[in-house]
Structure 1
Amino acid sequence: MWNKPSDSERIDAVTAWLDAADIAYDLYFHPASPTIELAKRHWRDDGSKHCKNLFFRNHKGNRHYLVCFDCDRTLSIHDLEARLHQGKLSFASPERMMRYLGLEPGSVSPFGLINDAEHHVHLFLDRNLLYCPSLSFHPNDCRATVVIARTEFERYLARVGNSYEYLDLYEE
């Protein structure tokens, strides 16, 4: 059993924010898992939908997007560009990730929006997530997982204040 890591400032920031907003969640710790493949080894069988999170910028570099979807699905950037109607997309650099979300690669999650005081980042969520009773994300650190009811996640999104929308990210 893993104990809480001593260097857990990002996790503490997320849980403190959620606690202050009176948003219910569960948290558990595991070995560092910066990729979905590694994370799958440590996730609990709790019925939540584990999400993959990708951070993009537009061609001009003046808009940034966080895209969240079912971790068992794959997206091509070309298809994503067509669905999002935001022009040519590329993965945002680690510097941009730090500037706008306060995060490093491997720890991207919607909880990074707590660090986006200017609400610069727009969040795109796969519409299929609307049908999941609970969702799982890193709490801005790949050594833990937050499990949150979708209704509580909606409350989080309303409180954090960034623009967001659900849309079809892939063909069924």
Structure 2
Amino acid sequence: MKTTPEAILARLSALGIPHETHRHEAVFTVAQSAPVKAAIAGAHTKNLFLKDRKGSLFLVTAKDDTQIDLKRLHETIGAASRLSFGSAELLVSVWGVEPGSVTPLGAVNDVPASVRVILDERLMGFERVNVHPLVNTMTTGLAPSDLVAFLVATGHEPAILALPAPPSEPDMRSGD
């Protein structure tokens, strides 16, 4: 059986990790979460559940407005090949969450640790990082260092990396 949001919050408390949780309407996309983000201070996240051709799994957590070059991401995170999104079935079976509720806190369900967790280094500069506690009707805020401590406690030592940005579009007006 997968962990409940209440159990996640209890685990954070048991680890001595300060956290604050807000309940809200369900949100399934970064765009739908705009009213939630406006009401809750801190960096909000987007999460990509990815796999490479060899079946290695990755969870990439970045600030919600981060543009990521998915064609080059595999090079940055050490994947064997270009990445594709993991299926909803794989997400539920391995990470224990439904699409729209993807969160680094799902690491608690990945026993033994089979997913490599990647945190965008931009998140480390914020006082507070907001993630779902396994469901998309709640948002939990905690310090970036405490998110790392939680991940380590679940057996997921995260890699903190600068994620590749997509190439910028050439300025056609400049004549270059």
Aligned length: 163
Counterpart AA for 1:80: L
After superposition, the Cα gap between the structure-2 partners of 1:72 and 1:157, relative to the gap in structure 1 and judged at 3 Å, is same
Residue in structure 1 matched with residue 172 of structure 2 by the alignment:
none
After superposition, the Cα gap between the structure-2 partners of 1:93 and 1:171, relative to the gap in structure 1 and judged at 3 Å, is closer
Say which one has the larger Rg.
2
Identity of aligned residues (%): 28
Larger mean CA deviation between 75-84 and 64-73 belongs to 75-84
Larger mean CA deviation between 40-49 and 141-150 belongs to 40-49
Residue in structure 2 matched with residue 82 of structure 1 by the alignment:
75
Q: Distance in 2 between matches of 1:165 and 1:56?
A: 15
Q: Distance in 2 between matches of 1:98 and 1:34?
A: 15
Q: Distance in 2 between matches of 1:84 and 1:154?
A: 17
Corresponding residue SS for 2:5: helix
Task: Kindly state the Cα deviation for residue 128 of structure 1 after the two structures are TM-superposed.
Answer: 1.3
Q: Distance in 2 between matches of 1:158 and 1:140?
A: 18
CA RMSD in angstroms comes to 1.7
Task: Kindly state the Cα deviation for residue 98 of structure 1 after the two structures are TM-superposed.
Answer: 1.2
Kept in 2, the 8 Å contact 1:35–1:106? The answer is yes
Q: Distance in 2 between matches of 1:123 and 1:83?
A: 13
Q: Distance in 1 between matches of 2:153 and 2:54?
A: 29
Counterpart AA for 1:78: K
Residue in structure 1 matched with residue 140 of structure 2 by the alignment:
146
Counterpart AA for 1:57: K
After superposition, the Cα gap between the structure-2 partners of 1:171 and 1:89, relative to the gap in structure 1 and judged at 3 Å, is closer
Kept in 1, the 8 Å contact 2:132–2:140? The answer is yes
Runs (4+) of structure 1 moved beyond 4 Å? none
Task: Kindly state the Cα deviation for residue 44 of structure 1 after the two structures are TM-superposed.
Answer: 4.6
Residue in structure 2 matched with residue 112 of structure 1 by the alignment:
106
Q: Distance in 2 between matches of 1:13 and 1:96?
A: 22
